[in-house]
Chains A and B, each alone.
Chain A
Amino acid sequence: MSSRVDAAGGPAASVVGAALPARRAGSRLRHALARRPVALAASGGLGLLAMLVAGVAAGSVAVPIEQTIAILGHHLLGLDVAQTWTAAQATIVMELRLPRVLTAMTVGLGLAVAGATFQGILRNPLADPYVLGTASGAALGAAIAVLIPVRALVLEFGLIHGLAFLGALGAVVLVYRLSRVSGHGQMTSLLLTGYAVASLLAAGLAMAMYLSGAGLRQIFAYLLGGFDAATWGRLAAAMPLVLGASVLIMLRARSLNGLLLGEEAAAHLGVDVRRERTVLLGLASLATAAAVTVSGLIGFVGLVAPHVVRLVVGPNARLVLPLAAIFGAILMVGADLAARLVGEIPVGVVTAVVGAPFFLVLLRRARTGYEL
């Protein structure tokens, strides 16, 4: 058959990716990059390190870069460097900025991986980590916590964190169970149910805010999200959940790839669709819940990061998931840095200002229809 096509003038490429038709330079660049995932990941890792140093050095009290690196090297790696910094600088770096930057990275990573996962399972490019009601659940939980006049702290965790976490997971479980009763196609049903439950929870949130009185500002701060309350203890609780869930998702990249062609084709390609869907939704929801518990609601990173990575390396989840994780982390630290430098505005404002225009561009580029 190929010989006929050859005779008809079509070039037959013998190696995939090589001998691409000179059709689009962008496509060729994409392929060159996609074939070097290790180089991409390495440069991403370096970028992450640079963001870490920048994020720790900058702020209302600037710590010079070389001293920042010296403090980090001394405290984290045990390097024997001559002490050129003051005790105050060491405290700022180690107790305030480092946990804050690492929390931002963890949250950015978790949201990006969860976003890529939800987009893949729901086969919907407009899905984000909050699509199954995680955000509304967490918000309502936090708002209710503000209304309850108990300020018990367990290991740096207040009622607000506990209820936010439970609210996020509870909302997903509710959406998942309700959607199974509905008669629509599984994924359409999930999306519609997620929308309905989120609306219901939003009504509850509005009620809670109406009743909150002096607590309104606190609820509002949670809704906008931020990292100013980051501590080592909270990071230590969130990080294992986020990283663990993300790694387990990455190990299931094959399933996400199969789902690219739809559930039936995925089954033909050897994916146990029902099981994988449940496991992946659960893991992504866990990562999201852990992230929103320590950061509040920060939009757009989970939506945008996977898409940017896909534009560069294509839809292969084996590349998209780890690279989106790195990029999401960088993006979040950058947004937090920008928020701090502008003067402690909420991070959610920065990500929205950057993310919303990108989202609109994405919508314009979308040529073919989506399933809902």
Chain B
Amino acid sequence: MSAATAPSAATAPSAVAASTAGTVAIEGLTVAYRGRPVLRDIDLAIAPRERVALVGPNGAGKSTLLRAVAGLVEPAVGSIRLGGASLRSLDRLSIARRLAVVPQLPMLPFATTVEDVVALGRLPHEHPIRGLRPADRAAVAAAIDRVGVGHLLGRDARELSLGERQLVLLAMAVAQAAPLLLLDEPTVHLDLRHQVEVMELLVDLNVRDGTTILAVLHDLRLAAHFFPRVVVLDHGRRVADDAPRAALAPDRIRETFGVDPAHVGELASSPQAGDGP
């Protein structure tokens, strides 16, 4: 990873008390869409500075779990606490200072440059009247540098490829500098090199800045390689929650994903995955 960019004050989480910042505590969470349960009785505790991969087959409820943590879907039963505070008691601005989400690729209605998009990450921090202050601009510049989208500056975000846009939105979430970062399939449109680079960036954000990471991933190899903890969801239930080798054991892969483990290959944890807490 780059040694050139030291974690600056602007990108370090500071809004919430350091001891509980970035923690997620989910208890007995059940979420239903139109009466159909999508998540059933989920318990999940994520400590500060943890790096957690969320995997599971399509429709297992991974995205819904992220949306619930982000406060976009109301739990039918159960509670979610962010950094020690009940999600229900937090307004949108407080939530945005506690967690950043890499959003889905949006349709932009107007010509919007890459730096305009990344600067949106500072919305929760900027001055209500004056807008971006020098510290915000520094955070934006640092995020652009860190995600490596500097060569896209000045371009209309609508003209970028899907992969480039995904990186720009990641830079936006990095600029938001929240103690918890949620990602839903952050590598789906990326080529192999950028997939690995995004994973390495997540490790770096986690290890150096102390950002808690919760990422939905489809690629089990990336999950096993870069994450020390893997949570497996199936039919809305948490069926495994362990180090990659245990969580993604051959039996589990056969049972949950319906695939012969031989197709997945050896899911070796790298030494990097052990860097975390």
- The residues of A with any CB-CB pair to B shorter than 8 Å are 1-5, 10-17, 19-21, 23-24, 27-28, 31, 119-120, 123-125, 251, 253-254, 257-258, 260-262, 264-265, 267-273, 310-311, 314-316, 318, 367-371
Contacts and interface: CB of A to CB of B under 8 A. Distances in A.
Contacts of B91: 272
A311 B197 CA distance: 35
Given A11-B151, A12-B150, A257-B120, A2 B109 contact: no
Nearest to B137: A16
B192 interface: no
Nearest to A28: B154
Nearest to A369: B107
B144 A13 contact: yes
Contact of A314 (B71, B111, B118, B198): B111
A31 B154 contact: yes
Question: Closest 3 A-B residue pairs measured CB to CB?
Answer: A270-B96, A10-B151, A5-B148
A2 B2 contact: yes
Interface residues of B, number: 60
Contact of B154 (A4, A23, A260): A23
A264 B72 contact: yes
A23 B93 CA distance: 37
B147 A1 contact: yes
Contacts of B93: 270, 272
Nearest to B116: A314
Nearest to A316: B116
Contact of B141 (A5, A13, A124, A260): A13
Given A1-B146, A2-B148, 17 more contacts: A1-B198, A2-B5, A13-B145, A13-B153, A16-B137, A24-B154, A28-B154, A119-B109, A124-B109, A251-B129, A260-B109, A265-B106, A268-B101, A269-B176, A316-B131, A368-B107, A370-B109
A45 to B, nearest CB: 19
Contacts of A11: 150-151
B2 A16 contact: no
Interface centre among A2, A17, A31, by most chain B C-beta atoms within 10 angstroms, is A2
Contacts of A371: 107, 109
B200 to A, nearest CB: 6
Interface in B92-145: 92-93, 95-97, 100-101, 103-104, 106-113, 115-121, 123-124, 126, 128-129, 131, 137, 140-141, 144-145
B201 interface: yes
Contacts of B123: 254, 257-258, 269-271
